[in-house]
């Protein structure tokens, strides 16, 4: 066959392939367009004008309020309700268990509004997307044919402030939630249901009466024991000597621990148990025979929730051949595997998150490319995503390639309940969310809810804006604050918010969160001896490695795995292709160098830049108390004061060293929340994780701003600055 013929055939083949590729891309595009159109239409179906919000009478801490009103944050009623009720793959316990469960000490439902309000979640009435009237951020989640109660983003990122019986919901605002208290109460209720025969009988009968997969009482009892062990395991692993109270959570510490629980291999765990010693540091806690008995029939590669619960039971068992460890010895074993989540931080607010270059308090997550998907995947791991991670013999998969496992004898398959498609949709949804405007500020708005709020609060003198103070405060802000906290237009669609990073030595605030993010380490399991690319070059993940490396590898494996095993295979593949394309082409945030005054990463210290905290624009900051990254200051006015040091005169003004947290009652003068006079959680700024130090700008102890040492603010200047910040 001549060269001309070969050339013609070659061109024809290329043209045919090109046409096929174009047809395939058109089909994918049409499929995605139809899917998105249906999704948008469906999203509009829940349009309750009150957005499901309820009035509360005889609420926690004596707070009673009428049906909450909303401000104009760019979202309609159905936008808010879609955000509250969109699943992300969280699975706390079986759904019907949550519906049927009673409180530990009374025969009232665990999901009663009184208990929900006590732990400062937000009760809701039934609406189209929420027929059972679950609280904001609680949702019915389906996975592999079973239903679960799970958390959505809104559980931690929907706020509310109250004032004299009027409540304002803040979409994307920080929750006042006490998640630790809630999960502790949940465990107690489940334990009581196991041991109290009357409660147990009512529970089993209620579950069987619901429309679910349970048909036998024995199956309900078995799953109740299993899920009680899982909640107990989570609470045990994450117990901390630092009490969080309300409005704070060490989310990263808990995400880290959950990843370590699923990544550690049997060999690594065996080495830990064999090396564990008693308090004297010399005597082994377990014999070789006891270790082998504890690990009998435990998976070689992936352990996970249920097997870990079984291991703990065996370690504490007093039956023949088991070690029978007490709580003190168990704490030593736990400390060898996990890290104490002792750096609680305030729940971040979400407006402008989609327009930010770096997110998280210490700028850990870049928002460029696949960053948002990886960040949100880590979040679902922390809030009880089911991680059906298994190990299989060597073979090709994208996840094994991207996580460096291609040459391993075993490779991790990252199947899970995490809903990557919804995570991407939620991130896109947040693009239209804007920060709340101080009610009573007369802005141009056709939003009837904002108009109602303005009318209510304009009638209250303490909420009116003093514009003479605002003008003076603007000058103070420009000189003292704006070099770190830029002023942005909340409605500018093209805005990009640049995080201004300050090293922990410079800003001086509590170091716990930043240091833990860098220093915490754990066993890397199958990721051992794999490579990970960082800004300074490629790093080899060691047997015991920084948890930030292990988390990065795990989320990369999750993102590279086709989402939602419940869906038809072609649909999963198309969903995954759409996610990859969307992450790269629809994300307007591009990779960039961090801004600010911080220590850069080096080959010797590849995560050194994380030893810093982020300053961001302060629009809407009035609705996000308490302040500083760890919630250690109750109001903006208090934040402008110095801390009291030994030798300081008692007559001066200082940040409060202790105050009450839990009330949503707002202080429009100091701009914060009610900090005394009720039986909430008493916050004390007396130990690492809780310190209210640093960020003393405007005081005599302030560091230089742009190389210039500024004079301390007078009391009048502080009040002028507070007044201006209200308008941001």
Q: Are 494 and 354 in contact (CB under 8 A)?
A: no
pLDDT computed for residue 30 by the predictor: 67
State the Cα–Cα distance between residues 87 and 122, nearest whole angstrom.
17
pLDDT computed for residue 721 by the predictor: 98
Residue by residue, what is the 3-state secondary structure of 480-528? HCCCCCCCCCCCCCCCCECCEEEEHHHHCCCCHHHHHHHHCEEECHHHC
pLDDT computed for residue 6 by the predictor: 41
Q: Identify the band that residue 572 occupies on the pLDDT scale cut at 50, 70 and 90.
A: low
pLDDT computed for residue 280 by the predictor: 85
pLDDT computed for residue 32 by the predictor: 58
Q: Tell which wins on pLDDT, 397 or 112.
A: 112
Residue 593 structure tokens: 């160098």
pLDDT computed for residue 31 by the predictor: 61
pLDDT tens string 657-671: 999 999 999 999 999
Closest CA to 510 of 356, 377, 343, 357: 343
pLDDT computed for residue 402 by the predictor: 80
Q: Are 150 and 383 in contact (CB under 8 A)?
A: yes
pLDDT tens string 280-323: 888 899 999 999 999 998 887 777 788 888 899 999 999 999 99
- What DSSP line would sit under 402-470, residue for residue? HTT-TTSSEEEE--BS--HHHHHHHHHHGGG--PPPPTT-------HHHHHHHHHHHTSGGGS--HHHH
pLDDT over threshold 60, residue 8:
no
pLDDT over threshold 60, residue 4:
no
Q: Tell which wins on pLDDT, 721 or 412.
A: 721
Give how far the C-alpha of residue 445 lies from the chain's centroid of Cα atoms, to the nearest Å: 32
Q: State whether the Cα torsion 289-291-294-299 is positive or negative.
A: negative
Q: Are 161 and 623 in contact (CB under 8 A)?
A: yes
pLDDT computed for residue 440 by the predictor: 84
Candidate from 8-12, 260-264, 464-468, 587-591 with smallest mean pLDDT: 8-12
pLDDT tens string 457-487: 989 999 999 999 999 999 999 999 999 999 9
pLDDT over threshold 50, residue 2:
no
Residue range 178-189: mean pLDDT, rounded? 98
Q: End-to-end alpha-carbon separation of the chain, Å?
A: 76
pLDDT computed for residue 308 by the predictor: 87
Domain range list for the chain: 1-43, 60-237, 346-433+509-601
Residue range 495-520: mean pLDDT, rounded? 95
State the Cα–Cα distance between residues 170 and 167, nearest whole angstrom.
10
State the Cα–Cα distance between residues 689 and 344, nearest whole angstrom.
7
pLDDT computed for residue 1 by the predictor: 45
Candidate from 38-52, 337-351, 396-410, 619-633 with smallest mean pLDDT: 38-52
Q: Identify the band that residue 404 occupies on the pLDDT scale cut at 50, 70 and 90.
A: confident
Q: Identify the band that residue 70 occupies on the pLDDT scale cut at 50, 70 and 90.
A: very high
Residue range 392-413: mean pLDDT, rounded? 81
pLDDT over threshold 50, residue 519:
yes
Q: What is the mean pLDDT of the chain?
A: 90
Q: Tell which wins on pLDDT, 561 or 518.
A: 518
pLDDT over threshold 60, residue 443:
yes
Q: Identify the band that residue 389 occupies on the pLDDT scale cut at 50, 70 and 90.
A: confident
Q: Identify the band that residue 37 occupies on the pLDDT scale cut at 50, 70 and 90.
A: low
pLDDT tens string 344-362: 999 999 999 999 999 999 9
């Amino acid at each position: 066959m001549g060269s001309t013929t070969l050339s013609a055939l070659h061109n024809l083949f290329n043209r045919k392939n090109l046409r096929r590729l174009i047809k395939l891309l058109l089909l994918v595009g049409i499929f995605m367009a139809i899917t998105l159109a249906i999704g948008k239409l469906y999203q509009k179906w829940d349009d309750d004008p009150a957005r499901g919000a309820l009035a509360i009478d005889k609420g926690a801490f004596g707070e009673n309020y009428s049906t909450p009103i909303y401000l104009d944050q760019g979202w309609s009623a159905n936008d808010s309700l879609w955000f509250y009720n969109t699943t992300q793959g969280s699975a706390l316990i079986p759904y019907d268990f949550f519906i049927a469960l009673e409180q530990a000490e009374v025969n009232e439902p665990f999901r009663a509004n009184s208990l929900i309000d006590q732990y400062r979640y937000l009760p809701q009435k039934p609406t189209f997307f929420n027929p059972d009237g679950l609280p904001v951020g609680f949702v019915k989640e389906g996975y592999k044919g079973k239903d679960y109660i799970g958390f959505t983003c809104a559980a931690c990122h929907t706020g509310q402030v109250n004032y004299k019986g009027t409540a304002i919901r803040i979409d994307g605002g920080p929750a006042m939630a006490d998640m630790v208290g809630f999960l502790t109460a949940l465990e107690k209720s489940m334990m009581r249901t196991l041991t109290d025969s009357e409660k147990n009988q009512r529970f089993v009968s209620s579950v069987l009466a619901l429309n679910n997969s349970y048909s036998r009482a024995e199956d309900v009892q078995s799953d109740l024991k299993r899920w009680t062990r899982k909640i107990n395991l989570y609470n045990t692993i994450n117990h901390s000597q630092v009490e969080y109270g309300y409005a704070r959570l060490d989310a990263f510490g808990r995400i880290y621990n959950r990843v370590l629980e699923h990544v550690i291999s049997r060999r690594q765990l065996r080495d830990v148990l064999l090396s564990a010693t008693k308090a004297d540091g010399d005597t082994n806690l377990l014999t070789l025979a006891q270790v082998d008995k504890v690990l009998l029939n435990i998976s070689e590669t992936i352990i996970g929730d249920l097997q870990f619960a079984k291991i703990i039971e065996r370690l504490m068992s007093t039956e023949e051949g088991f070690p029978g460890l007490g709580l003190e010895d168990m704490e030593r074993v736990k400390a060898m595997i996990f890290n104490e989540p002792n750096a609680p931080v305030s729940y971040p607010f979400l407006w402008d998150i989609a327009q930010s270059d770096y997110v998280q308090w210490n700028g850990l997550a870049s928002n460029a490319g696949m960053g948002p998907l990886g960040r949100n995947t880590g979040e679902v791991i922390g809030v009880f995503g089911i991680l059906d991670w298994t190990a299989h013999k060597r073979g090709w998969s994208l996840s094994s390639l991207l996580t460096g496992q291609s040459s391993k004898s075993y490779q991790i398959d990252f199947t899970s309940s995490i809903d990557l498609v919804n995570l991407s949709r939620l991130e896109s949804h947040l693009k239209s969310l804007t920060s709340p405007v101080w009610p009573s500020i007369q802005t141009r708005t056709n939003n009837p809810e904002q108009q109602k709020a303005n009318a209510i609060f304009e009638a209250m003198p303490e909420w009116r804006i003093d514009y003479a103070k605002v003008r003076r405060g603007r000058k103070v802000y420009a000189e003292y604050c704006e070099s770190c906290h830029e002023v942005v237009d909340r409605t500018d669609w093209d805005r990009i918010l640049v995080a201004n990073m300050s090293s922990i030595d410079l800003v001086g605030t509590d170091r716990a969160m930043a240091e833990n993010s860098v220093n915490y380490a754990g066993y890397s399991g199958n990721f051992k001896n794999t490579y990970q690319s960082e800004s300074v070059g490629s790093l080899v993940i060691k047997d015991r490695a920084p948890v930030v490396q292990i988390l990065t590898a795990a989320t990369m494996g999750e993102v590279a795995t086709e989402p939602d095993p419940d869906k038809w295979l072609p649909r999963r593949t198309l969903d995954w292709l759409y996610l990859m394309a969307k992450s790269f082409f629809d994300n307007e945030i591009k990779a960039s160098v961090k801004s600010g005054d911080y220590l850069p990463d080096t080959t010797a210290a590849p995560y050194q830049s994380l030893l810093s905290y982020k300053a961001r624009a302060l629009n809407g900051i009035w609705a996000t108390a308490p302040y500083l990254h760890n919630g250690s200051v109750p109001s903006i006015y208090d934040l402008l004061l110095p801390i009291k040091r030994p030798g300081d005169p008692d007559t001066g003004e200082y940040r409060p060293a202790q105050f009450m947290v839990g009330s949503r009652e707002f202080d429009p003068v100091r701009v914060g929340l009610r900090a005394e006079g009720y039986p909430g959680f008493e916050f004390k700024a007396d130990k690492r994780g809780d310190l209210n130090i640093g960020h003393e700008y405007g005081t005599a102890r302030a560091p230089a701003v742009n190389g210039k040492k500024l004079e301390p603010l007078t009391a009048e200047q502080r009040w002028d600055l507070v007044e201006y910040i209200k308008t941001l």
